[in-house]
Amino acid sequence: MEHVTILLILAGCFGLFMAWGIGANDVANAMATSVGSKSLTLKQAVIIAAIFEFTGAFLAGGQVTSTIRKGIIDTSLLSGSPEILVYGMLAALLAAAIWLLIATRYGLPVSTTHSIVGAIVGFAAVGIGIEAVKWGKVSSIAASWVVSPIIAGGLAYILFRSVQKLILNTSDPMENSKRYVPIYIFLTGTMISLVTMLKGLKHVGLDLSRNESYGISLFIGIFCAIIGGFLIRKITYSKERNINNHFFDVENVFGVLMVFSACAMAFAHGSNDVANAVGPVAAIVSIVSSGGEIAQESVMPIWILLLGSVGIVAGLLMFGYKVIATVGSRITELTPSRGFCCNLAAAITVVLASGTGIPISTTHTLVGAVLGVGFARGISALNLRIVGSIFMSWIITLPAGGIMAIVFFYFLLGIFN
């Protein structure tokens, strides 16, 4: 292939830009509930997210990646013209990254997976042909727009209502928290362990079966519940601390749980969603360095994983505060107990989706959970104008990525051909 050096430089730059977009928009979701509920300051959340996202992306991001994200296009149709796939992947990366930049600028949480999928579908439909797109895969991804927020919202609603009934709306919230919070700790420990094993550690080489993962997670959940129950019983109720806020001590218990769950979600997110940036880069590098051979899977060079990891952290540090503000405080008012229900509902939804093979968006899942908690307090607790803006941005994501990818694809085709 011609222009090898230029194409590799462009792949690196566009991949870094895409990873930056993931950090700025998607990573913010993992930490938004912690910041919105004041369990963590913005600075603390950014530092924690940076550490766990980088660790997840770099250590567990995968040594082998599928060259086409989610297997949505048939690459066999391009065996005679591999350069078309290279230009298409470059166009898709740039289009998805620009859409993430625009959405983040306005504080709108959108799905990075849907951004890159829309972009790949766009270039494939015009650059290869409509028949190259596996429309069944695309429709199942589009269906997740509806499925994941509804499941997470329903779970968050049920969880928060249970917290209200068992702890908050009782005559002795502190005593009841000592009785019931260990159950929530068990659920949290189990679900977060499952998310980490099914999503975060699947690339590390830990060849655990699904049953082994469930068994280990249940053991971790029980262990966490025993330790947590012991520590909670040591907390004494202070009238002075609770004079302005009847639930101050109770909320602090949930605040600790939130920080724990946010760390694990950030690790799992970094390991899973870094593929949206590094997958297309690995595909380009594989094709260019092999002289035009298109493989279904390609080995992930360590520098590409490092590129994705650094990009994610940079995006979070520079621009992440915008989406954190939207999800954490502009949809509905969050407290540690409400934010905890959001995180746990999102984790359960991710586990359910992994078990059933439904492709879901972490962004849509968490926003759905926040809506569910807000709805549990009544429709007036939700900022419907912000909710409407978020839903509109979700609908626009696929076509926006697709249209921009088509424009960039023809632009690159014109330059290099």
User: Which pLDDT score is estimated for 405?
Assistant: 95
| Residue-wise burial string across 74-104, b where 16 or more C-beta atoms lie within 10 A, e elsewhere | ebebbeeebbbbbbbbbbbbbbbbbbbbbbb
Q: Which residue has tokens 């913005």? A: 42
Mean pLDDT per block of 10 residues along the chain (417 residues) reads: 82 94 85 87 87 80 52 73 86 95 93 88 88 84 84 94 90 85 89 77 67 89 88 72 67 81 78 79 82 66 86 90 89 89 88 74 89 90 92 92 94 87
Confidence at residue 205, expressed as pLDDT on a 0 to 100 scale:
61
Query: Residue 94 has which token pair?
Result: 């740039």
Counting Cβ atoms within 10 Å, is residue 222 exposed (0-12), middle (13-18) or buried (19+)? middle
For 77, phi and psi rounded to 5 degrees? Answer: -70, -10
Amino acid at 208: L
Q: What is the pLDDT of residue 64?
A: 44
Q: What is the pLDDT of residues 256-294, one digit of tens each?
A: 788 877 887 787 777 777 778 888 888 888 888 777 676
Q: Find the distance separating the first CA and the last CA of the chain, reported in whole Å.
A: 12
Q: Could you give the count of Cα atoms lying within 13 Å of 232 in the half-sphere of its Cβ? A: 28
Rounded distance between C-alpha atoms, residue 159 and residue 153, angstroms: 10
Q: What is the pLDDT of residue 295?
A: 64
pLDDT of res. 294 = 66
What pLDDT is stored for residue 106 in this prediction?
A: 92
Distant-in-sequence, close-in-space partners of 193: CB < 8 Å, separation ≥ 6:
216, 217, 220, 221, 264
